[in-house]
Copies of this chain bind each other. A is one copy, B any other.
Amino acid sequence: MSNKSHRLIELMMTVNRKRKFTVKELANDFNVSPRTILRDLQELSGLGVPLYSEVGPHGGYQVLNERVLPPIAFTEEEAVAIFFASHALRHYSSLPFETETSAALKKFYFYMPGDVRDRIDQMKNRFDFVIPVRQVKSPYLGILLDAAVQQKVVCFEYESKSGKLSREIQPIGIYASSGLWYCPAYCFMRKDYRLFRCDKISSEIRLSTTDPIDLRDIHLGNRIAITKEKKTPLRLYVELNREGVQKCETELGRHINVNIREDGSGWLENQIDPQSIPFFAKFFIGLGKDAMVKKPSILIDKIKEMLIEMMQQYK
């Protein structure tokens, strides 16, 4: 392959790897004169590599946060799958990334071969990953994620049912579920793990001076096992008919285990946290006669209480 084109491609990779470098350095690496490197760098710039330079001692070139992916061979299916997965991000009103993801998608789309593009166009209105739309913004996702990754303690005002309270937490991670963002974290106030809803954070997030605890081995994948051990659990037992089974599977996700019989009916049998009684009461009322709660009695009482309340509401 020709010298120059080859060098340009190598150069592209090299600058991406080094991120900071001087013209002289590269001239040595590539055994060409600095002048040549200068010209090459200008070409790279023209090709879209975002180079930035500063003169003076300790100056030099830098690649800005844009990186250039080298040519990657994707099969058509792969490209389409990646496109639509990223496309689904448009449903989120908040993301922990600063970027407009639409910019990334446009690039991706623009550089695709024409027929893949055609295929995407045809599918665009016929295929989607739906995520409930919320207007609720969660502006602190980036900070929380950073804190989780870097093991930092943060504090903020949090709007819980019992009112606004200042919290000091060390995030384990963040995740989106049904259009809302959640942040499981260690709460220094409660001295225990708690789940926070990111949209209920009602003040700026500040870094705290509290020493972080060691959460390196606790992450989204294993936190449930770890946090569950500590609760004083209530035993939940619910009979479900076919419809009930299906709804529970859809709506409870993986937190609660749904057992299924051959005829399609089933039952729930789980340890639950006393705090979640109001949630389950509402949930099973919503299921109507598709679910029959047998235990715990405290849950049954709550359901009755709510039913009576509602009877009054609708006279």
Contacts and interface: CB of A to CB of B under 8 A. Distances in A.
Contact of A288 (B76, B178, B309): B309
A156 to B, nearest CB: 18
Contacts of A130: 175-177, 253
A71 B74 contact: no
A312 to B, nearest CB: 9
A104 interface: yes
Interface in A61-108: 63, 65-82, 85-86, 88-89, 95-99, 101, 103-104, 107-108
A303 B307 CA distance: 11
Contacts of A59: none
Quickly give the copy total for this chain.
2
Interface stretch (A2-10, A22-30, A186-194, A204-212): A2-10
Given A1-B47, A82-B104, A19 B134 contact: no
Contacts of A57: none
A2 B288 contact: no
A50 B286 CA distance: 53
A1 B70 CA distance: 18
- Of the candidates A81, A115, A246, the one having the most CB atoms from chain B within 10 angstroms of its own CB is A81
A65 B77 contact: yes
B67 A79 contact: yes
Contacts of A126: 145, 148-149, 171-174, 219-220
A251 B180 CA distance: 11
Nearest to A313: B289
Interface residues of A, number: 113
Interface string A285-296: 111110011000
A56 interface: no
A103 B82 contact: no
Nearest to A293: B314
Nearest to A126: B173
Contacts of A288: 282, 285, 306, 309-310
Given A125-B221, A129-B175, A180-B250, 6 more contacts: A17-B115, A67-B116, A77-B98, A85-B86, A133-B254, A134-B249
Interface of A: 1-2, 4-5, 8-9, 12-13, 16-19, 43, 46-50, 63, 65-82, 85-86, 88-89, 95-99, 101, 103-104, 107-108, 111-116, 122-123, 125-130, 132-136, 145, 148-149, 171-180, 219-221, 246, 249-254, 260, 282-283, 285-289, 292-293, 300, 303-304, 306-307, 309-311, 313-314
